Amino acid sequence: MTVTKLPFHADHIGSLIRPEALSRTQEQADAGQVTAEQLAATQKAAIADIVKKQQEHGVRAISSGEFDRKYYFSGFFERLGGFREVEPVPWDLVRLSAPPIAALKKAEPLPRELEDAPRVCSSRAVG
């Protein structure tokens, strides 16, 4: 394969579809059935495989597929103080259902009364 130097920096972000073995191991890790080391080994093997496939298909901006992350933002909050997971979230939550999404016509401070927040947000939602 000929490698061409691009006149710009290119990155690929975003998850690729996880192989079944990795999905199963992530579920087992969440349930405490496999160790962090076993999960890491499965992730490493899946990443090596997806990198090889991308190279074979001529992809120049190679991605790990985010196979070493539970979520696309994994690692960010874990490296900030003051955060803790209060309720474990299934790793594949976004595949099971779409999270609620709302768009605002106009952003304004919410009233102090929290019980009024749903009505205020609903009145500003688009569509």
pLDDT along the chain (127 residues), means of 10: 65 81 93 95 96 90 86 70 69 58 58 58 58
- Supply the pLDDT for residue 95: 60
- Supply the pLDDT for residue 14: 72
- Supply the pLDDT for residue 70: 78
> φ, ψ for residue 125 (rounded to 5)?
-70, 145
- Supply the pLDDT for residue 2: 62
pTM: 0.57
- Supply the pLDDT for residue 12: 65
What is the C-alpha separation between 41 and 37, in angstroms, rounded?
Answer: 6
* Residue 12, Ramachandran bin (φ over 0: left; ψ between -120 and 50: alpha; else beta): beta
DSSP 110: P
- Supply the pLDDT for residue 74: 72
How many CB atoms are closer than 10 A to CB 89? 12
- Supply the pLDDT for residue 38: 97
- Supply the pLDDT for residue 90: 67
Do residues 73 and 85 touch, judged by C-beta distance below 8 A? no
- Amino acid occupying residue 21: A
